[in-house]
Amino acid sequence: MDDLLHAMAQAVQQVGHMPEKAVQVFHHNDSDGLTSGAILTRAFARQGFAVRRFCLEKPYPAVLEKIYEQEGKILVFADFAGRIAPLLCELNQGRNLTLILDHHVAEASTEPRVINLDPDLFGLKGDRDISGSVTCYLFARTLDPANRDLAALATVGAVGDGFFVDGALVSQNREVALEAVRQGLIEIRSLEHGEQYLFNGAQGQLPVIDFGDDLDVLGGVGYYRSGPDMGINVCLDGVSPESERMVEELKAVRTKLFDEEIAGIKAGAMRQAPHIQWFHLQRRFFPMGVKMVGAFCDAIRFTDLIDPDKYLAGFQVVPDEIPGFGAIDFDQVKVSMRCAPALEEQIRAKRAMGLNVLLPEATHRLGGFSDACHSLTAATTVNIGKEESLIDEMEDILKEAFHG
């Protein structure tokens, strides 16, 4: 922790040496990412910086290339990019001051102008000890101790990411929650198993988990409808009648789009390969973000709409635009994979191949981009038109593993 705080203090010094009092903040679109963006926006604004904020579902290479066409800027990445520090160094070529405030598994920077403050590099665990929002909070407090009052927002992000030990926040996440309790902004109630966190807002008390869910709806379901902007407003200025209406409208959009796909699957839209069942949403989920194909897989993986013994894959075309960046030709399709509980059991027992092996390997063979792949949930992107090839590659990999 001391080393991390020391590195943050040095980064703050570097920020102070920059000629322009302007910063660009790039942050993720889930509750942890939105609270991270809100914390940084307020902290930099309080120091007199002009803040431009961009919400991204992923740090796509095509977007990064656009960002790094600039020179002499301060660029801050929050709740993502820890692992791609070497790529940012390559793109940066010493031209901009880049700060990374992520908490996922990280790789060290290879140049002094890209400062990777991901706590993973300092011995902390991002899937247990510290969220993106708490990392941003620590940085904000380093900028100015007065930013202590952002502890409640940091707690919302930590609870939203859902990393608990025995039902409770631990380590840095917990310390920040306790700070927010001292400020009267959070209440912690002991439960039989773990703890419940309550946010004391202007309109009364709200379970933090519900606050986080609403932010996830704004950022994920509302991604292409300025939902993230509303999410940031909610973080900084509180819930409003407009924000509540938007959350309800977006939930209705999600229900309608999910129901239409379920009807399609009942009518035979699920395609069958020997070990994989798959469907293609094309562009039907727009204006929801591309995270929603994974959410849809989660919604159906417990139901009898799927074969419990086969892997489940869903494709969704990545829209050729990013809010704040305009048109970008991705020509890509995202694939999300999940399993029914029975197959998950087989994967945990190592009797079936994990998604973290199957999908990245097949994606790599087709020249695609692997992002977040875990044994039970995985997502990558490949070029449009490669969908059937990807399924074939995965079937080959399974065949090789069991007969090779």
Binding positions for Mn ion, rule: CB under 5 A: 32, 79, 132, 161
What is the nearest approach in angstroms of Mn ion to the Cβ of residue 132?
4
In the bound state with Mn ion, the residue whose beta carbon lies nearer, of 37 and 222, is 37
Long-range contacts (CB closer than 8 Å, 24 or more residues apart) made by 94-99: 95/68, 95/70, 95/71, 96/68, 96/70, 96/71, 96/72, 97/14, 97/15, 97/18, 97/73, 99/11, 99/15, 99/74, 99/75, 99/139
What is the nearest approach in angstroms of Mn ion to the Cβ of residue 282?
29
- State how far the Cα of 54 lies from the Cα of 9, in Å rounded to an integer: 25
Sheet strand arrangement including 271-272: 271-272, 276-280, 311-317, 332-338, 378-383, 369-373
Handedness of CA 381, 382, 388, 393 (dihedral sign): negative
- State how far the Cα of 58 lies from the Cα of 88, in Å rounded to an integer: 14
What is the nearest approach in angstroms of Mn ion to the Cβ of residue 277?
30
In the bound state with Mn ion, the residue whose beta carbon lies nearer, of 290 and 300, is 290
What is the nearest approach in angstroms of Mn ion to the Cβ of residue 33?
6
Name the amino acid, one letter, at 380. T
Residue with tokens 């927010």: 180
What is the nearest approach in angstroms of Mn ion to the Cβ of residue 357?
24
Q: Report how far apart, in Å, the C-alpha atoms of 206 and of each of 29, 101, 150, 244, 353 are.
A: 21, 28, 17, 13, 41
In the bound state with Mn ion, the residue whose beta carbon lies nearer, of 81 and 343, is 81
What is the nearest approach in angstroms of Mn ion to the Cβ of residue 122?
16
What is the nearest approach in angstroms of Mn ion to the Cβ of residue 294?
15
What is the nearest approach in angstroms of Mn ion to the Cβ of residue 125?
12
In the bound state with Mn ion, the residue whose beta carbon lies nearer, of 234 and 362, is 234
What is the nearest approach in angstroms of Mn ion to the Cβ of residue 255?
26
Strand partners, 114: 98
Q: Please state the length of the chain.
A: 404
| Distance between first and last Cα of the chain | 47
Answer yes or no: are the C-beta atoms of 225 and 319 closer than 8 Å: no
Answer yes or no: are the C-beta atoms of 102 and 79 closer than 8 Å: yes
- State how far the Cα of 143 lies from the Cα of 146, in Å rounded to an integer: 9
- State how far the Cα of 389 lies from the Cα of 362, in Å rounded to an integer: 9
What is the nearest approach in angstroms of Mn ion to the Cβ of residue 131?
5
CA 285 to chain centre: 19
Residue nearest to Mn ion (CB): 32
In the bound state with Mn ion, the residue whose beta carbon lies nearer, of 79 and 261, is 79
- Output b/e per residue, 88-114; b: 16+ Cβ within 10 A: bbebbeeebbbbbbbbbebbebeeebb
